[in-house]
Amino acid sequence: MLLDEKVNLDVIEIEEKMKGILLYKEHISNKHTSRNIKVNRKFQAKFSEEYVNRIEDSIQSLKVNSIWKKQSIHPIFYVLYMIYFSGSITNFVHEDKYLPWKNMKSWPCPNKVCPNYKQLVVQLVDSKMISGDIYGYFMCPTCGYAYSECDGDNLGTLDIISKGHLWEAKFKELLYREDISFDDMKEILGTTFYWIEKELKKYEDLGLELLLEKLYSKEILENIKTDAHINKK
């Protein structure tokens, strides 16, 4: 038999695995036409035109781009791709997905308020192929900080999904401290004003006076109050 009966094959999983191989074994993507052509020629050399014509399809339809663009592909060509990529169907099925993060088991936590800040504790929890790029989804088990990373042409680009429960708790604590300004919060939390503003939307009960006090550092606020007192005189 070509394949163990116990093995279940999913078309989407097959396509994602093929794309991973193309990206990290052949070093091409849907954006690299010249490299695609080179791989197509190697592919066509492995399976003769005479052989392919026996299954009533032209050799020209054997295009790597068909995988990227999700064009209609004859089922037999999936089999041929598996043999081309891995030597046999069984090898392909049992071959691990090509992930850019496969050589690392953990990553440093970027959350400044986490007790494991910068320590190798973050885990890869999922990965998906989106528009020809592979996205990894990561989370710190200690603080809940979660983010995704794209390993296509945007290598190293982080997209924060959640700051995590420890960060949110620290934010709330600092928010109601009179001696802490937004500038202080930005530094302590290791974040930007964008995230402070985003988190503030959860606190609709905040009074204007508290917000105004938080806008300034303690020294600047005292200066404003002093100037206002002098002007009243």
Q: Which residue has the higher pLDDT, 98 or 203?
A: 203
Q: Does the pTM of the predicted model rise above 0.75?
A: no
4-42 per-residue burial string, b: 16 or more CB within 10 A, e: under 16: eeeeeeeeeebbbbbbbbbbbebebbbebeeebeebbee
Q: Which residue has the higher pLDDT, 213 or 200?
A: 200
Q: Which residue has the higher pLDDT, 187 or 83?
A: 187
C-alpha to C-alpha distances, 224 to 85, 154, 221, 230, 231, nearest whole angstrom: 70, 45, 5, 10, 11
d(CA 110, CA 160): 10
When pLDDT is cut at 50, 70 and 90, the band that residue 82 belongs to is confident
When pLDDT is cut at 50, 70 and 90, the band that residue 218 belongs to is low
When pLDDT is cut at 50, 70 and 90, the band that residue 55 belongs to is low
Task: Look at residue 164 in the predicted model and tell me its pLDDT.
Answer: 96
d(CA 134, CA 151): 6
d(CA 218, CA 179): 7
What are the pLDDT digits (tens) for 123-148?
988 877 676 667 888 999 999 999 98
When pLDDT is cut at 50, 70 and 90, the band that residue 108 belongs to is very high
pLDDT of 114 higher than 90: yes
Task: Look at residue 203 in the predicted model and tell me its pLDDT.
Answer: 77
Residue 127 · residue 137 · CB < 8 Å: yes
Average pLDDT, the chain: 72
pLDDT of 81 higher than 60: yes
Task: Look at residue 36 in the predicted model and tell me its pLDDT.
Answer: 60
CB atoms within 10 A of CB 120: 12
Task: Look at residue 207 in the predicted model and tell me its pLDDT.
Answer: 59
Q: Which residue has the higher pLDDT, 34 or 177?
A: 177
pLDDT of 9 higher than 50: yes
Least confidently predicted of 49-63, 113-127, 164-178, 197-211? 49-63
If 0-12 CB within 10 Å is exposed, 13-18 middle and 19+ buried, where does residue 53 land? exposed
d(CA 137, CA 151): 11
Both tokens of 108, joined, read: 């440093």
